[in-house]
């Protein structure tokens, strides 16, 4: 059985100019088996075909929220209601688990300063650890787990691949390299233009998690939909690592 771990982010991973209104960086992972991913692809394609026909459409959280680009059709409130209803239903129906890491950049900078590893790499380490915990607890014959990451830039992608290779060789504080190698992890960088549904699901989930981390008491219907999908053990949300 092959699994995928799709990764996308919400917020800026830089530490130089921290936005006081959004001082958090979230790296969101969606873990899904190959058969379940094929079902998700079909559901997302059906939604796109219903509203846009054969046109190429990429679900992007910010564009949907702002009703921009292809999503200007959502300015029609009836269309928006129907679209969100179908999209939320597809997100609820799909069989996957969320493993995410949220970093409070202000607290991180105050406590650790600017480390050699940037917050994206720190977040990836947390996610890889918990992905191993999740796969260990899954009663299936898992032969491989492919990490699919949205491209950010040649320099950034090379730096992240180097960090991933380092984790693969030496492990982390909590998991050994042998435990990581057990699942034959690989990493691949894909451009947004390839219209990869798993990356789009991760993008749609990342923002509600970020807003929850910023203010957990605020009404957050999108997070309420996502929360049951967050990887948990014995009531603990291991799939939502908030750091520091």
Other beta carbons within 10 Å of 154: 9
In a 10 Å sphere around its CB, with 0-12 CB exposed, 13-18 middle and 19+ buried, how is residue 234 labelled? exposed
What's the count of helices (H) and strands (E) in the chain, helices before strands?
Answer: 9, 6
Other beta carbons within 10 Å of 200: 22
**Confidence band of 123 (pLDDT split at 50, 70, 90):** very high
CA-based angle 153:156:158, to the nearest 5?
Answer: 105
Average pLDDT over residues 199-217: 97
Residue 16 has what pLDDT?
A: 83
CA-based angle 93:95:101, to the nearest 5?
Answer: 110
CA distance 228 to 193: 30
pLDDT tens-digit map of 218-230: 999 999 999 999 9
Q: Which two tokens stand for residue 192?
A: 């947004």
3 state SS for 147-209? EEEECCCHHHHHHHHHHHHHHHHHCCCCCCHHHHHCCCCEEEEECHHHCCHHHHHHHHHHHHH
pLDDT tens-digit map of 29-54: 999 999 999 999 999 999 999 999 99
pTM here is 0.95
**Confidence band of 4 (pLDDT split at 50, 70, 90):** very high
32 forms bridges with which residues in the sheet? Answer: 4
**Confidence band of 71 (pLDDT split at 50, 70, 90):** very high
Residue 116 has what pLDDT?
A: 58
Average pLDDT over residues 156-178: 92
| Dihedral angle of Cα 44, 45, 48, 51, to the nearest 10 degrees | -110
**Confidence band of 142 (pLDDT split at 50, 70, 90):** confident
Mode of pairing for the β-strands spanning 144-150 and 97-104: unpaired
More reliable by pLDDT, 210 or 13:
210
CA-based angle 116:120:123, to the nearest 5?
Answer: 105
Q: Does residue 60 surpass a pLDDT of 90?
A: yes
SS3 category, 136: helix
Average pLDDT over residues 100-126: 88
Q: Does residue 117 surpass a pLDDT of 70?
A: no
Average pLDDT over residues 168-192: 92
**Confidence band of 113 (pLDDT split at 50, 70, 90):** confident
Structural domains of the chain ordered from first start = 2-243 (3.30.420.10)
CA distance 7 to 34: 16
CA distance 78 to 198: 27
Residue 173 has what pLDDT?
A: 87
Average pLDDT, whole number, for the chain?
94
């Amino acid at each position: 059985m092959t699994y995928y771990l799709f990764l996308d982010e919400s917020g800026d991973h830089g530490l130089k100019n921290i936005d006081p209104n959004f001082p958090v960086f979230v790296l969101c992972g969606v873990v899904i088996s190959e058969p379940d991913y094929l079902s998700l692809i079909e559901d997302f394609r059906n939604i796109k075909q219903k509203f846009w026909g054969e046109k190429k459409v990429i679900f992007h959280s910010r564009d949907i929220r702002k009703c921009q680009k292809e999503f200007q059709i959502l300015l029609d409130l009836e269309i928006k209601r129907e679209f969100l209803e179908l999209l939320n239903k597809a997100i609820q129906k799909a069989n996957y688990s969320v493993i995410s890491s949220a970093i409070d950049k202000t607290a991180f900078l105050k406590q650790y300063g600017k480390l050699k590893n940037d917050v994206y790499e720190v977040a990836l380490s947390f996610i890889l650890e918990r992905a191993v915990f999740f796969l260990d607890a899954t009663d299936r014959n898992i032969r491989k787990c492919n990490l699919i990451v949205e491209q950010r830039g040649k320099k950034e992608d090379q730096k992240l691949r180097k960090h991933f290779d380092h984790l693969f060789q030496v492990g982390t504080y909590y998991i050994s390299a042998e435990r990581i190698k057990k699942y034959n992890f690989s990493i691949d960088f894909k451009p947004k233009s390839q219209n990869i549904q798993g990356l789009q699901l991760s993008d749609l989930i990342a923002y509600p998690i970020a807003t929850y981390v910023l203010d957990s008491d605020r009404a957050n219907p999108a997070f309420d939909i996502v929360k049951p999908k967050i990887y948990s053990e014995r009531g603990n949300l291991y799939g939502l690592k908030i750091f520091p």
